[in-house]
Structure 1
Amino acid sequence: MFRKFYDALYLQLCSSLSSIIAEQTDPVKVLSAAMLEIGKVLLSLRGKVLSIPFPSIEVEILFFKTIKPKFYASKIYHFELYGLDMNRPVDTNETIAAYYKERLSELQLFFKLNASMYDYFRTGRNEMDHLYFIRGAEIPPVLIPEMPETDPVYATAMDYLFAKFIAYEFLQQEILNRIGLLDGAKVVTDLPLADLGVKWTGKIVNLGELIYGLYYTGQLNNGNATLSEIVALFERMFSVKIRDVHHTFGEIRERKVSSPSKFIDSMAVAIQQRVDDDLKYKPGKI
């Protein structure tokens, strides 16, 4: 119940941002529209937290470690994406690729400079959560690599850094996708595809899980299909917008309690059940 409001709010934000990206091509207009949507959601998020006390320390940790960072990551990501687009050189593919690789190196340097906390973030450790994600916790300054927020009622030692980790991972994947396209990948959205009348009516996060499963196991083009190509193909096949697939991966990663492959697991169970049903003894049959 605690997460229901925040999950709905985040899905609403992702949907709005996806529409903005699909409808706008001008980086200035994209940033302006995105900041407007994100600002409204962040204001609603803060108001909700400050109006209703957390029922327990565990819930407070959950909010500042998991929920708040992914919202703020959207703001950081769109600012970074704007900078990436505005500073991109108008030149040959080789020059543009060199620019993208330089930005990748900068992201890698950030991760290295914060290696200890990035490891804490990536591995899901929790032994320091009572210091990192509780408001007002006494923590030695040497353990705080970056903390720009000073709001004592709505900030903890590490929630902003976790937001940057999420945003920079999204940005890193976006840059890799763009480099892949420059290296000769064809844009799938330009290819004709018959309208078979089949539309995706399930959750976008489930479709995202399928896409990442195909991508990471190299099922398409002998493992050479880029994430952007696969996303574009699924969009055209199923008449659906999934341009927020990086945000979707954030949702997949948050499925720590159940399984990050929750949908694919349910498919396996359904197939096994059908096989078991077919193998059951049927009266009158030999």
Structure 2
Amino acid sequence: MRKSLGTIVTEIQEQERKFSVTCSGLIEEAFQMTVFLQELLISSKECVLSSGFVNEEKEIEFFKMIKPQILGKLIYYNKLYRIETACPVNNGKMYHNYFSTHLTELKIEFSEHICNSHFYRYYRSGRVDKDNEYFKRGQINYLDGLSSYVFEIDPQFSTYYDYKVARIIANDLLYAYLLTKITPEENPDTFFQNTDDIKELSWTDSKNALIELMYALYASGAISGGKVGIRKLTAISQVLFRISLTDVHHAFHRMKTRAGSRTLFLDQLKQSLEEYMDKDL
């Protein structure tokens, strides 16, 4: 039986929490996650090839949402492992230059191969009108001048664009990781280097809830007098809570126009705190 998106995400997060506690360091953690995600991808492929999809909606959901979550994290952890194992020193100028170089390369790759594409703008805007073209097998348009990678994929387990979504997810995670490496004041490892409990931190509410909290902290100037922007808060949150945050600005704009309370999570926080206070009375 094929797993749902929620089940897949939860399963990945549980493994991340497990390895963050049991592994000796980031290198071993990245290796173990790479092995786990590779096995998860293989089992998902076997399920798709043997059972197919009950309808087009399920096929689109799998290639747009489910497979990219697995493959995106797999690309991320494999790259993280390669970067960490090749790091020449543990600190100093050479250390900073090493990670700065990787960040520059990531930005160049993003600029040349991702952000300027029509598909990237389609995906980031949350559109669905071309999902039948992008996320159903056998719909690849070779007239678009696609990357040569398309000729290497298994057409029974890829639409080509599921890989592009995975690359976007991996890019976001790698950017956050590299940013914390070259900016010590934003590095959770520096903040909590003597605290074992940091390894168990994870965000268990919705992504929108975390985005709402970040914007509230930013708007109130509660962190560094408001000098830390949303991009840096997003990067810190992604690494600290081991979560991928995409379309942050679009999510915030949707909050501004949603029906009812525009601050659902903050309202819940206030209620939860007051109830907790009442317990001590």
User: So what's the TM-score if we normalise by structure 1?
Assistant: 0.69
> For structure 2, which runs of at least 5 residues remain unmatched after alignment?
273-281
User: Which residue type is aligned with residue 245 of structure 1?
Assistant: F
2:243 alignment partner in structure 1 = 247
1:137 alignment partner in structure 2 = 139
Compare CA radii of gyration and give the structure with the larger one. 1
1:72 alignment partner in structure 2 = 71
Q: Percent identity?
A: 22
User: Which residue type is aligned with residue 266 of structure 1?
Assistant: L
SS for the counterpart of 1:89 is coil
CA contact (8 A) 1:135 1:155 kept: yes
Please say if 1:188 is aligned against 2:186.
no
User: Would the alpha carbon gap of residues 230 and 174 (structure 1) be closer, same or farther in structure 2, given more than 3 Å must change?
Assistant: closer
User: Would the alpha carbon gap of residues 244 and 134 (structure 1) be closer, same or farther in structure 2, given more than 3 Å must change?
Assistant: farther
User: Which residue type is aligned with residue 124 of structure 1?
Assistant: G
| Alignment map for 1:20-169 (pairs within 5 Å) | 20-26=19-25, 28-90=27-89, 92-114=91-113, 115-116=116-117, 117-145=119-147, 146-147=149-150, 149-169=152-172
Residues 79-134 of structure 1: CA deviation (Å, up to 9, x unaligned):
11012212223165332222222211211111222221332332223444332211
Between the aligned partners of 1:229 and 1:191, the Cα distance in structure 2 is 22
SS for the counterpart of 2:183 is helix
User: Would the alpha carbon gap of residues 268 and 228 (structure 1) be closer, same or farther in structure 2, given more than 3 Å must change?
Assistant: closer
CA contact (8 A) 2:203 2:241 kept: no
User: Would the alpha carbon gap of residues 90 and 50 (structure 1) be closer, same or farther in structure 2, given more than 3 Å must change?
Assistant: same
Q: Which range is displaced more, 130-139 or 212-221? A: 212-221
1:177 alignment partner in structure 2 = 180
SS for the counterpart of 1:65 is helix
1:281 alignment partner in structure 2 = none
Aligned residues: 256
Residues 158-192 of structure 1: CA deviation (Å, up to 9, x unaligned):
11121011101100011112222168999332578
CA contact (8 A) 2:63 2:162 kept: yes
User: Would the alpha carbon gap of residues 66 and 200 (structure 1) be closer, same or farther in structure 2, given more than 3 Å must change?
Assistant: closer
SS for the counterpart of 2:243 is helix
Between the aligned partners of 2:215 and 2:99, the Cα distance in structure 1 is 26
User: Would the alpha carbon gap of residues 273 and 4 (structure 1) be closer, same or farther in structure 2, given more than 3 Å must change?
Assistant: farther
SS for the counterpart of 1:249 is coil
User: Would the alpha carbon gap of residues 136 and 76 (structure 1) be closer, same or farther in structure 2, given more than 3 Å must change?
Assistant: same
> For structure 1, which runs of at least 5 residues remain unmatched after alignment?
193-198, 232-241, 275-286
CA contact (8 A) 1:132 1:156 kept: yes
CA contact (8 A) 2:76 2:174 kept: yes
User: Would the alpha carbon gap of residues 4 and 270 (structure 1) be closer, same or farther in structure 2, given more than 3 Å must change?
Assistant: farther
- Across the aligned residues of Structure 1 and Structure 2, the Cα RMSD in angstroms comes to 4.4
Please say if 1:219 is aligned against 2:215.
no
